[in-house]
Amino acid sequence: MFGSRGGEAAVTCIACGEEIQRGDAREYDKHGNRWERTDKEFEFLCKPCHGDICHQPRDGLEQRLIDIGAGESDRETFLSSFVAADRDRSPASERDER
């Protein structure tokens, strides 16, 4: 029957690692567009972790993190790369205010 949750698969929260039933999880789309579902594979968050994240637009944050190699360098290198990438994205008027 449509909507039945019997035999539902377990998923893992990408934030805390807890294994939860799919129906108790929240979908997370790292590309920021959860409404276009064709050929998508979602990651999942448990309800507490989903409530803790910022729900504001990310404006390409995930791609920027990938571009600067997040998780592949030490903290200081990552932070300086992130600030430089952010500076490069900001309009000149915003950079002047900083």
Question: Residue 47: what pLDDT?
Answer: 93
Question: Residue 30: what pLDDT?
Answer: 72
What are the extents of the domains in the chain? 10-52, 61-97
Question: Residue 1: what pLDDT?
Answer: 39
pTM of the model: 0.49
CB 59 within 8 A of CB 81: no
Task: For 8, list phi and psi in degrees, rounded to 5.
Answer: -65, 140
Among candidate residues 30, 95, 98, the one with its CA nearest the CA of residue 60: 30
d(CA 31, CA 37): 12
Q: What's the average model confidence in pLDDT over 69-75?
A: 87
Q: Angle at CA 90, nearest 5°, toward 14 and 97?
A: 120
Tens of pLDDT along 20-58?
A: 999 999 988 776 666 777 777 788 999 999 988 776 777
